[in-house]
Amino acid sequence: MRQVRVRIAPSPTGIPHIGNTRTALFNYLFAKHHKGKFILRIEDTDRVRLVPGSENAIKEIFSWLGIHWDEEYKQSDRILIYKEYVQKLKEKELAYEDNGAVRFRMPKEGVNEWEDAIGSKKILFQNKDQEDFVILKSDGFPTYNFANVIDDHLMEITHVIRGDEFISSTPKHIQLYKAFGWDQPVFAHLPVILGPDHQKLSKRHGAKSALDYRDEGYLKEALLNYMVLLGWNPGSDQEIMSLDEMITLFDLPGVNTASPIFDVKKLLWMNGIYIRKSQISNLKSQIISQNSKLKNVDDALLDKLIPLAQTRMNTLNDFYTLTRHFFEEPKVVLDEKEKETAQKLYNAFLTMKLWDNETILSSLKNVIHKEGIRMPILYKILTGAPSGLPLPESLTILSREKTIKRLKKLLT
Ligand code: GLU
């Protein structure tokens, strides 16, 4: 059997959203599962739609996620090759000049048919419904339909795994393979990802790029794990898996024929699972690199806070939200009733013999009981936020001195 060779062929027309990155992941996993090659091909022949910086963003996404490519090509470097193949079609009288552009002559009868690897379904198009299509534009650049096929052939691509929005282009591609007398690859069209409202996934649904998720404090392991389940399952209930496990388990028959639904809440839940699985040292370095305000913070303080926060964080950025009052004076405005409670806390803390979790807990309970208040009010008074890390532990770490000083300030 031939070595498996697959490609992701992004057009640098913007920063790809999570759906395109999932297609890349499926290609990568398929290649690695079959000990084949994963190729990155930048399809930059649509010069009008180029967006500066998007090629770098595409590569940054793959590098961050660990989706390593084995070979790399860029179509704008290969213009002469495409022109050569245009010439071949002209010589066979299968292509002709039209207003400075070159068109491919589609046959007017017969059908184009293939068995798609997703769901093993037969897809059929009538040639009479197809028009002669442009292969070389008047600016000298080939079209997507042409360059894509030439490259898939020359790069010996065995499986074309892409989104199902390309199904309608496939008859054109097949006709080009026939025109050159080349074998066509296996086509596998992935069902498009939908939002919870069953409309095509878009920004509206919280679908962003992998880089946006990184900035929001998602771990790459969680994002990879979430993406692989968008339209694939391992044939069991297993949901949590590492990249290595995905490589072992992934294959095309496991891809569902139904469209997956993108659920940002599930991604958040999964990120929380990965945060709780993380080793503290690893979590610490990720939390610090995520937030520049933490770069100069005392190491010993972070070592105390991170294990406490780990159980309550769903993103890396949650760390700062939960611990802000350790690094910044909380901004709190109290009403009269809250001020009374603050006074009671102040009195209790002042007379406490010990400053440890247990003693703090019992005086907090005391105040709650006597004042008939709820936890969010205590949090507000003591941290400036309605919830956060366990209060006794927080106050122990913050120190009695600081706690009392802050309460005093609130009361005056
Ligand atoms: N350049 C196309 C894209 O932007 C590639 C489609 C394909 O994989 O054939 O997605």
Give the tens place of pLDDT for each residue, 136-189: 999 999 999 999 999 999 999 999 999 999 999 999 999 999 999 999 999 999
User: Both 260 and 303 in a single domain?
Assistant: no
pLDDT recorded at residue 136? 98
Atom of ligand 1 nearest to the CA of 7: 8
Q: Let me know whether 210 and 140 are in one domain.
A: no
Mean pLDDT, residues 357-386 = 95
Side-chain-side CA neighbours of 60 within 13 Å: the count stands at 14
Distance 9 CA to ligand 1 centre (A): 5
Residues with CB under 6 A from ligand 1: 9-11, 43, 144, 148, 162, 166
Q: Are 351 and 372 part of one and the same domain?
A: yes
How far, in Å, CA of 198 to CA of 112, rounded?
Answer: 30
Mean pLDDT rounded to a whole number for the chain: 96
- Please check the confidence at residue 1 and state whether its pLDDT lies above 80: no
What integer pLDDT is reported at residue 305 of this predicted model? 98
138, with CB counted inside 10 A (0-12, 13-18, 19+), is exposed
144 alpha carbon – ligand 1 mean position (Å): 8
283 and 149 part of one domain: no
What pLDDT sits at residue 280?
A: 97
Residues 204 and 224 in one domain: yes
**122 CA to centre of ligand 1 in angstroms:** 21
Cβ atoms of residues 166 and 150 within 8 Å: no
Residue 273 lies in a domain: no
CA of 94 to the centre of ligand 1 (A): 24
Residues 83 and 69 in one domain: no
If you average pLDDT over residues 217-243, what whole number do you get? Answer: 97
- Under the banding of pLDDT at 50, 70 and 90, the label for residue 206 is confident
207 — pLDDT class (breaks 50, 70, 90): confident
Task: Report, as an integer, the average pLDDT of 221-248.
Answer: 97
Q: Which protein residue has the closest C-alpha to ligand 1 atom 3?
A: 10
Give the model's confidence band at 205: pLDDT under 50 very low, under 70 low, under 90 confident, else very high.
Answer: confident
Residues 68 and 86 occupy one common structural domain? no
- Read off the pLDDT of each residue in 288-309 and give the average, rounded to a whole number: 95
| 184 and 92 fall within a common domain | yes
Q: How many domains does the chain have?
A: 4
Same domain, 214 and 148: no
Kindly state whether residues 68 and 82 are assigned to the same domain: no
Residue 181 lies in a domain: yes
Atom of ligand 1 at shortest distance to CA of 13?
A: 4
Q: What range does the domain containing 154 cover?
A: 78-190
Band the pLDDT of 203: cuts 50, 70, 90.
Answer: confident
Residues 6+ apart with CB under 8 A from 235: 249, 254
Q: Are residues 360 and 390 in the same domain?
A: yes
CATH number of the structural domain spanning residue 406: 1.10.10.350
Please check whether residues 313 and 252 belong to one and the same domain. Answer: no
68 falls within a domain: yes
Q: How far, in Å, from the CA of 322 to the mean position of ligand 1? A: 42
Q: Which atom of ligand 1 is nearest to the CA of 152?
A: 9
Is a pLDDT exceeding 90 seen at residue 283? yes
- Which atom in ligand 1 lies closest to the alpha carbon of residue 9? 5
pLDDT band per the 50, 70, 90 thresholds, residue 132: very high
The last residue of one of the domains, among 227, 244, 268, is 268
Please tell me the predicted confidence (pLDDT) of residue 202.
Answer: 83
